[in-house]
Amino acid sequence: MTKNIVTRSRYGSLCSMVAALVIAFIAMLYTSCKKFVTVEPPIDKITSTTVFSNNQTATSAVLGVYSNMMMTDANFFNGAITINTGLSGDELVYNSTVDEVKSFYTNSLSASNSMIGDLMWSRAYSILYQTNACIEGLEQSAGVTDSVRKQLTGEMKLVRGFIHFYLANVFGDVPLVLTTNYAENSVMPRTAKQAVLQQVVKDAEAAKVLLSDKYPSAGRVRPVKAAASALLARVYLYMQEWSKAEAAATAVINNSMYGLVANTDNVFVADNGEAIWQLMPVVAGFNTIEGNRFVPGTATARPQYSLSTALLNAFEAGDKRKTSWTKVNVSAGIPYTFPNKYKVRSSTTVTEHYTLLRLAEQYLIRAEARVEQNDIAGAKTDIDVIRMRAGLAATTAITKAAVLTAIEKERRIELFAEWGHRWFDLKRWNSADAVLGVAKPGWKSYMQLYPIPHSQLLTNPFLTQNPGY
């Protein structure tokens, strides 16, 4: 317990353990790049060299990046992907009246929507700037030991790849930012999505070489080699590189540090055996934003977000995931079922960390990669691992088409309201128009991509808008 408390202090409050210079560095990284195209010129070399002068200050700078990722608003890293894509797709129903939120649910997004511009695009590029600053600082430092330099650089390259993966899947072609060069970044055009994903692979492969096998501090809040393999498995799946996806997923599945949690109530608790990479809360009273936003304040309050009827109908009878991961409030006589993967709305006791990567997804990645290579038996074995944990019988699918349908269903249920998996799956399977054309009045195909923020188009003349906006 003492180790956890100390780590949380280091992770969440740099003031308690690092020099004022490091605090200023982290603050400068965050405040100087709230808007990607209006980032101030990078910090001077003297400050950067001092911050990365030894293992402790360099580690604190990297931990500061994670702290900024876990701000208490629903931003790019902390709930926005889950909530916004869940509303845009067929997972979540919005039960309130805030227009900017409602526009995700009604698929009537505007390029001036501040939730897209400030909380998604700008926050993502802000953290990208920070990761690049850390990578460059570590490269130039003579005071950081080689083992620490490798681990920290690997962490930041994995974060950079993770960010670019989501930017490309939310917006399509996006600027590929790999340096802190202000003059270059401020006029950078969009890079083709496929090229961005190739860079994600490059960063994740580099991270896999640099990162340690074991977690470098208490908990699972800093990535290790298995996290790099997990991200690679996902990217390769999206790129339809089936054998590579299978190999990367297998590397994680065979790692003795991980195993599916038998009790589905515990899949999202801190440091559980299924978690590959989590983020730690940094503000007192919060565990996760998703728990805070999804769980109503009282047992009779109408939840702000509830699950769609179509999603609820997709659960099979006896599925433990429905019991563990959803909950019903009756408000004014109307039942509302809401996501309950994260069960803590607010508490000063930390029991849940925000999960970025977990083992169950790797089984589903491998199942899909296997069936695409005509390994029907292997795919069924992986599907059944997930189904058995959920208390369900083995799949009855026999043909390739039937097994693919079974995988699609398991992904929908296992990964619902979680980091945009359903939204991205519909798009990569070319099913979005068919599914959302029925579920969403006024659906148009161009809505599969979010608009490039209008504020960015004004300040960077080399950016172009997505069609339809």
Q: pLDDT by residue (tens digit) across 175-199?
A: 999 999 989 999 999 999 999 999 9
Residue 220, φ and ψ in degrees, nearest 5: -120, 40
For range 82-98, the mean pLDDT: 97
Asked if the model's pLDDT at residue 9 lies above 50, the reply is no
Q: Which residues contact 236 (CB under 8 A, 6 or more apart)?
A: 201, 242, 244, 245, 248, 369
Residue 316 within a domain: no
Residue 92 within a domain: yes
Residue 169 within a domain: yes
Distance CA 15, CA 47 (A): 18
pLDDT at residue 136, as a whole number: 96
Q: Which of 285, 205, 186 is nearest to 244 (CA)?
A: 205
Please tell me the least confidently modeled range out of 22-36, 218-232, 309-323, 386-400.
22-36
Joined tokens for residue 78: 């902390």
Coil, helix or strand at residue 352 = strand
Please tell me the least confidently modeled range out of 36-50, 199-213, 380-394, 407-421.
36-50
Per-residue confidence at 47, pLDDT binned at 50, 70, 90? Answer: low
Distance CA 102, CA 84 (A): 10
Distance CA 378, CA 249 (A): 13
Per-residue confidence at 11, pLDDT binned at 50, 70, 90? Answer: low
For range 66-77, the mean pLDDT: 91
Instruction: Share the mean pLDDT of the chain.
Output: 91
Residue 253 one-letter amino acid: I
Find out whether 188 and 177 touch, Cβ atoms under 8 Å: yes
Percent of the chain with pLDDT over 90: 87
Asked if the model's pLDDT at residue 19 lies above 60, the reply is no
Find out whether 408 and 385 touch, Cβ atoms under 8 Å: no
Instruction: Give 364-395 as a DSSP string.
Output: HHHHHHHHHTT-HHHHHHHHHHHHHHTT-PPP
Residue 238 within a domain: no
Instruction: Give 3-31 as a DSSP string.
Output: HHHHHHHHHH-GGGTS-HHHHHHHHHHHH
Q: How many domains does the chain have?
A: 1
Find out whether 259 and 363 touch, Cβ atoms under 8 Å: no
Helices within 142-192 (DSSP H only): 146-171, 182-185
Distance CA 413, CA 276 (A): 20
pLDDT at residue 8, as a whole number: 46
Find out whether 391 and 322 touch, Cβ atoms under 8 Å: no
Residue 337 within a domain: no
Task: Note the pTM of the prediction, 2 decimals.
Answer: 0.92
Alpha carbon of 111 to those of 64, 88, 123, 381, 456: distances in Å? 30, 15, 16, 45, 10
Residue 378 within a domain: no
Find out whether 307 and 91 touch, Cβ atoms under 8 Å: yes
Residue 160 within a domain: yes
Structural domain boundaries, residue 156? 1-73+87-186
Per-residue confidence at 46, pLDDT binned at 50, 70, 90? Answer: very low
Cα torsion angle, 119, 162, 456, 38, sign: positive
pLDDT at residue 332, as a whole number: 96
pLDDT at residue 393, as a whole number: 98
The partner residues of 100 in beta bridges, in order of sequence, read: none
Distance CA 25, CA 20 (A): 9
Residue 152 within a domain: yes
Per-residue confidence at 72, pLDDT binned at 50, 70, 90? Answer: confident
